[in-house]
A = this chain, B = another copy of it.
Amino acid sequence: MLGIGILGCGRIGAMHAANIAAHPRARVAAVYDINVAAAQAVSRATGAPVMPSAAEVFAAPDVDAVLIATATDTHADLLEQAIAAGKPVLCEKPIDLSLARVDSCAAAIAHTTLPVQIGFVRRFDPGHRAVFEAVHDGTIGDLHQLVITSRDPGLPPEAYLEKSGGILRDMTIHDFDMARYILGEEPTRVFAVGSRLVAPALMDALGDEDTITVVMTTDTGRQAILINSREATYGYDQRVEAFGSQGMAVSENRRPHHMVLSGSTFTEHAAPLLNFFIERYREAFNAEIDAFVDAVENGSPVTVSYHDGRQALLLAEAALKSLKEGRIVTTGEIG
């Protein structure tokens, strides 16, 4: 049983803790949060002790690895400390909102051979992964166009948005990673358009966008199209379409069940979509823990590396620059 210390007991940290507690090969070894009440709640649910500091989590002998799910601006520091303490790390995305800090952290941990896995959980979704496989095993031939649609069910709180780093670094970043994962090569040219249609006044105040389209191309001419909105009334819209020379693979939306209703004014009325990411990506969150346990225990390569975390942020930066300057940005301009 791998003993995992949980750093950060907010919504996502608590969810990870519950998954780890129910996992046959892992257990929660310690919990920490600057909000002690949050840590205590996770402690009660899992039986793991609350630690007074992250340092004591790193020092605890039965903590074999750590999961970092704290505020984004603490990720890089904690990651460096964890590696220094000899603990493998599963770190929530993004590593940091600043590419410079991501790179300095990379330098600080460059020497390590410990597993460092970044939390791009969507790679573990069975449907998205089946698209990945249909591309990489040649089922759909050479990939030509990749269309990723990600729409959230509703606008997050203003306080969240203020610290989010903007839609491209907060929300589209998942799609940058998914695009890299499925394309199998790096996008080199990035073009983005953003609109303020869901909450125009709030977006004006924040200098952010709520509706995004990004088009990226690789050097071989593959096209990736990312389509985002902060608010889809019909729920959490998560689709991936890969089009290739021999066919098309589409990962469709998911629902809690498949009861289909017909009545006098409609037919085939389906259940609402799974809402929100904790439900939609439930299997993926579990598979992410599986993969991390495998990496730590068996030395399997991590599925989502630190470099993957960095490259997704680099694409977000390129898209942001494209948005601001109204032009195509090459990734070489960024880093």
Contacts and interface: CB of A to CB of B under 8 A. Distances in A.
A136 interface: no
Interface string A259-300: 111111111111111000000000000000000000000000
A214 to B, nearest CB: 9
B245 A263 contact: no
The winner among A191, A232, A261, A272 for most chain B CB atoms within 10 A is: A261
A42 to B, nearest CB: 13
If over half of A's interface residues share one DSSP class (helix, strand or loop), that class is named, otherwise mixed; here it is: mixed
A90 to B, nearest CB: 20
A131 B229 CA distance: 19
A195 to B, nearest CB: 3
A166 B137 CA distance: 33
Copies in the complex: 4
Given A22-B22, A247-B264, A269-B266, A223 B233 contact: no
B234 A264 contact: yes
Interface in A66-108: none
Interface string A188-226: 010101011110000000000001010101000111010
Given A245-B198, A262-B248, A273 B269 contact: no
Contact of A134 (B128, B139, B259): B259
Contacts of A157: none
Contact of A268 (B126, B142, B196, B268): B268
Interface in A110-124: none
Contacts of A266: 234, 266, 269-270, 272
Contacts of A302: none
Interface stretch (A50-58, A170-178, A249-257): A249-257
A270 B227 CA distance: 24
A130 interface: yes
Contact of A260 (B24, B249, B271): B249
Contacts of A258: 127, 251-254
Interface stretch (A7-15, A28-36, A143-151, A303-311): A143-151
B213 A223 contact: yes
Contacts of A229: 144-145, 243
Given A221-B197, A266-B270, A269-B266, A227 B145 contact: yes
Interface of A: 18, 22, 24, 45, 125-131, 134, 139-142, 144-145, 147, 149, 151, 189, 191, 193, 195-198, 211, 213, 215, 217, 221-223, 225, 227, 229, 231-235, 237, 243, 245-273, 326-328
